[in-house]
A and B are shown apart, each in its own frame.
Chain A
């Protein structure tokens, strides 16, 4: 019945030309999804029409005898086996590993007897060159090659992370087939990411997001080969991080004691991410965006009005040594809890009004000879913070203001560009020799009607005037889902598959830019999410998937 596509596309054209059919204006697109096409698009992919069948009783992942291996590979085999053969129970399996709802009740559509006359893909041999790293890092190698030919498949990579990316691709090129049950075509893929840092930010302060939902989001990221989870964990509104050193921070700063991430939760989340080759970069934003920190711990600036203290608190108080003593302890804990080399230090949107009003801060300004330039105070604060974090051995990511404000930062600092016009800032930051990543054009929380992903897809982190050396300093980008109007009710369906379009921009070759060419693959990718139990919303107008979301 999809032969009607032509008619419907014609209808679509008509309604556009009239330009006066608001109900209609976007409704007649009906795009046929691709079959067995991976997302994001590999750097190189060649397929033929030769098909092989897969059957759960006759398929194995194998580790080559000369390959490196580790627990990450074993558990990835287990996951991808379930994902490929029993997708409808997969999500439940990864979210509740102990649940008894297992694959036994899902019978394959075709029996081995049905498939006796066709070639079965019987094994995927995996070969990893280098010993497994324990955690993924900015510098990790994610390249792989995947060859499917006859009853044998071969997946080769330098690192465990490349093998995990390759397994994801493998799961995309297996597709449901009427005659074969599950099928795969003869294929050769050679693939690697264009950018090393392909991130997604979630904000757990404006609204709390349950660990279960965060895991679902990590799974969705892995499905699109995103590899950095930027956890904007605290902000003005709440402090859900349960600190070992300062339990009062969440004790008073969380919405309530159910809306906290315990140390176990955090460890669980980091492990879940690690299994998928995803880095967890946590952000403790200061000196602004810290109202929730100051409920019991006296580190914020007391605001004054007419010479008298009001009840209001401002940004962190840089005039007191105790503020930095506190930060030393907090960041040394964070350095321990979060294994990634990078901590995001925020540093954005500092409002100077409260600093200006406070007599102690004023005295400190005089003492430091800052005059009336409060940006010097901000610089002083951030300089202290980056030094504190550097002393823990960590590197840091910062919002662009820190660099705009001339703070001296370590050479390996990554600058997060979030303001428009981003090409100017990217040029500026890279000219200073800093690594940078782009967020400005990917604020996914700013929803609008229609195929808004096309704008995300068109945005490119290399879109600025600079030398090759400058371009090389761009490590990637991040899609941001700020949480003012987002919580677990809508975070997945608002983020996915829109974030996947950012993922393709960051992974695929620079010339993969045509939204029309991407659309049918995006349709398939969304339906793939649904098949895996992830409620990715429709983004291309009317459509359907074989498996729809009903809960």
Chain B
């Protein structure tokens, strides 16, 4: 017997506070939700999903994809009796008002939707396909298998829903450790289940360069961990397509001029020779390495960047943004180099900041010339570089990370008030784990969850209303120093769901003690969909847990191992 409903929350000393969740409570919480208390039954054989858009891959493939989610494989579902006839849920129709089959999601696309279930029929209504996908996801969460193994939902439901922030990102780092393609795809699936809509692919860094360039194959030949630790052009297209069909943008990050040791293995001549006095290529312990950071005085660096970024632009052909990194550039090596010193003199520059300004302006110009828009870490903006107005600034600095830094709210207010779109990452470094439990004297609470959940992006925000609009959202980062295929899914999910709800739901949905119950239901939902989401409360889900009889984690429909 399946008992997904009755979950025991037994805590020895302190009862869990908060309101237990309905088994089909959606996550993230919709903006407006009205649900009756009676149920209607679904017969998997006779349930139809209609759409008013014909031959639209986004919708057609979504309908196909949701079948095993509506009707989970391996779990037995009772066929409802005929005398239930007026309680049978017959069909749901997806109505896309624009009637356009969009190809790729844009930042300011309408993502809203509404769901109506009444008199045995359901309607998902949206302005465009992206809203329809969001609606379909919420709809799928409304169905559940009850204690008698019937697939049911509430007999009348009305939902009207839209995101609080248009940009809801996840950063995965495939350079510190390689993440196999099947794992990335599962992350993309889990993102859909939590209404994240941007995959920020931090694809390269000092440690490795797994991205295969056809123009510059030496990048992976020399810069990847091994020839097995690469993303081929097919892999990359596969990932972009997987994301696109799910309404997720893929923004690649090629971080320069720092974080380029792996690039430097392929092109050592692009790096700056660091000097120890008059000796070139000699490290000074604690100051600089032998060589590091691209040398901005070298013409061939810009030639390479031009060619390479053009290739990237072609590969990520639907996405207008490329993330250029530009973070954490420390000038000691540059300043030690006599050629660079001369260059500074000749160009009336005096320090590393000037040189960084020069480099970043060149690269931003280059981006414009190839028709791309730029996203950057905040560092060059901190340096006072005037950025093109459509640049998106990602805020990662905060007093908690860097003791001499202002708070992230200061940066957010400043960047948006200057007219830039800004994305907040600083408080959402999900890789910085801590033990989350049992720390308050009077209540049992997963404090780690609480920590992410109670971050208000507008806390201490000083910008005006126009500036508020420019705070476009947030991004949770899973930096991969201690993350790879063994643990990335269970580390990130469902902890990052706390961020998902913060970015999507109303600011008034902010009671973590209630939310933890809904999240527990949601984590079981993710387990049913083959995502090994870790527990946040004591308890259990069902026979579909990992390693059990109906375990979904290795169910072929939910994973992508060849």
- Listed in ascending order, the chain A residues whose CB lies under 8 Å from chain B are 1, 4, 7-8, 10-11, 13-14, 17-18, 20-24, 26-28, 30, 206-213, 216, 236-238, 255-259, 288-289, 291-292, 351, 445-450, 483-490, 492-494, 530, 535-539, 541-544, 546, 548-551
Contacts and interface: CB of A to CB of B under 8 A. Distances in A.
B316 interface: no
Contacts of B305: none
Contact of B534 (A11, A450, A485, A541): A485
- 4 A-B pairs with the lowest CB-CB distances in the bound complex, closest first: A210-B547, A550-B180, A535-B486, A488-B546
Contacts of B536: 485
Nearest to B180: A550
A549 B484 contact: yes
Contact of B543 (A28, A258, A351, A490): A258
* From A22, A206, A489, A535, residue with most partner B Cβ within 10 Å: A489
B interface SS class? loop
B264 to A, nearest CB: 8
Interface string B195-226: 00000000001111000000000000010011
Interface string B390-409: 00000010000111100000
A480 to B, nearest CB: 13
A535 B487 contact: yes
Interface stretch (B113-121, B123-131, B426-434): B426-434
Given A8-B261, A291-B12, A28 B206 contact: yes
A255 B8 contact: yes
Given A258-B549, A542-B177, A551-B559, A490 B490 contact: yes
B547 A207 contact: no
Interface in B548-562: 548-549, 551, 553-554, 559, 561
Interface string B405-433: 00000000000000000000000010111
A24 B285 CA distance: 17
Contacts, number: 218
Given A14-B289, A544-B229, A23 B545 contact: no
Contacts of B491: 490
Contact of A27 (B3, B481, B489): B481
Contact of A544 (B208, B265, B404, B554): B208
B508 to A, nearest CB: 28
Given A8-B261, A537-B487, A489 B535 contact: yes
Nearest to A551: B561
A236 B228 contact: no
Contacts of A17: 285-287
Interface string B276-318: 0000000101111111100000000000000000000000000
A548 B396 contact: no
Given A4-B261, A23-B328, A211-B547, A550 B542 contact: no
Contacts of B539: 207, 237, 255
B487 A258 contact: no
Nearest to A20: B402
Interface string B431-442: 111111110000
Contact of A548 (B180, B437, B438, B534): B180
A543 B177 contact: yes
A424 to B, nearest CB: 24
Given A259-B540, A487-B545, A236 B10 contact: yes
Given A256-B540, A551-B554, 8 more contacts: A7-B290, A26-B482, A207-B539, A487-B535, A538-B482, A538-B484, A548-B484, A551-B182
Given A14-B287, A449-B431, A485 B177 contact: no
Contacts of B480: 542
A237 B8 contact: yes
Contact of A486 (B175, B433, B532, B535): B535
B485 A548 contact: yes
B546 A487 contact: yes
